Amino acid sequence: MAMAVEAPASNTAEGPTSHTQNRAALVPATRTAPAASQALSLTAMSVQDAWGFAKALAESSLLPRQYQNNPGSVLWALEYGRGIGLDVITTIQSVHVIQGKATQSADLMAALTRRAGHRMRMTSTDDRAEVTIYRSDDPDFPFTSTWDTAKATRAKLLNKDTWRQYPAAMLRARAISECVRMACPEVLHGAIYTPEEIGAAVDADGVPLDAPVPQPRPSAPEPVAPPVRPELSARQDSDESAPAPAAFAAAAPPKPQSIPSRDEVLDKLYLQAIGNRSHIDALKQIAGAAKAEKVIDMEVEGPPPTRERMTLGALIDLLLADAQAANAERSAA
């Protein structure tokens, strides 16, 4: 007969640790977790054991697609989760590695905010979401973020499938992540965006869809004829038996050129747009290139001070409007 084991109470400098029900939601506090749960923790593992644990998890089909057969990402995510007090299950389900960046679900951001002692108030409808956070160290100053369909339209988000199917969930997630970044970014520990903000296709809960991403394969290069110098060709016409010099007898086939990924193309065009923000013709050319490369609807970081996420097309339109306004002012002067 199995016996229940009660974990000993932990103490801090301020006294015994206590947790209210609303703070414990979604993010279990490791200090009050039962001792048996430590079996799923990196705390007591050696480096070799942790790597073996990550490899075993990566072989499971129950994990999100970005973690399957990728033990390195599993280990990194688990260490990140351990650093902020998350158990293994919560980490795997709520922390996602997208394009090499750690992201969090909006629900996890909200839970971490409340666990840190800050107050969050939220109202949400199908066409509007508003989130307000009162910091525990400054309760009289509210931080508020509002997302509605008009704002999503300006950011060119409503053409995405998930936004058309689940507008209320997407507006709510955007309002949460934006408000948390403004009010208490320290609770995010570097993972400041949701997967959807990075560009991942997600479901109504903000979880990345398990759709495989095909990788382009470079085609094999066609054989290239060896170069022949004119004087050598003339000499061989007169004496076909004369051997060609070794340096021109054969040419090494060219190495296949690597095909840049869409993320690399996006980063390149984003930097070009920022660097040519005052040049109207250059921005128009960059917009054309973005459409041709099919990255015009991928999201990038917007200009300061808000650095609000928006599509590359929306950013170029914004920069174009600013450049045209500045040009009109110069002409009027």
Q: Is the pLDDT of residue 280 over 50?
A: yes
**Amino acid 161: pLDDT:** 86
Lowest mean pLDDT among 149-153, 258-262, 286-290: 258-262
Q: Is the pLDDT of residue 191 over 60?
A: yes
Per-residue confidence at 118, pLDDT binned at 50, 70, 90?
very high
Q: Which of the two residues, 278 and 110, has the higher pLDDT score?
A: 110
In whole angstroms, what separates CA 265 from the centre of its chain? 16
Gap between the Cα atoms of 194 and 216, Å rounded = 27
**Amino acid 41: pLDDT:** 66
pTM over 0.85: no
Gap between the Cα atoms of 110 and 27, Å rounded = 10
Q: Are 299 and 290 in contact (CB under 8 A)?
A: no
* Mean pLDDT (whole number) for 187-215: 77
* Mean pLDDT (whole number) for 256-282: 76
Q: Is the pLDDT of residue 95 over 60?
A: yes
Per-residue confidence at 243, pLDDT binned at 50, 70, 90?
low
Whether the ω angle into residue 305 lies within 30 degrees of 0, i.e. cis, is yes
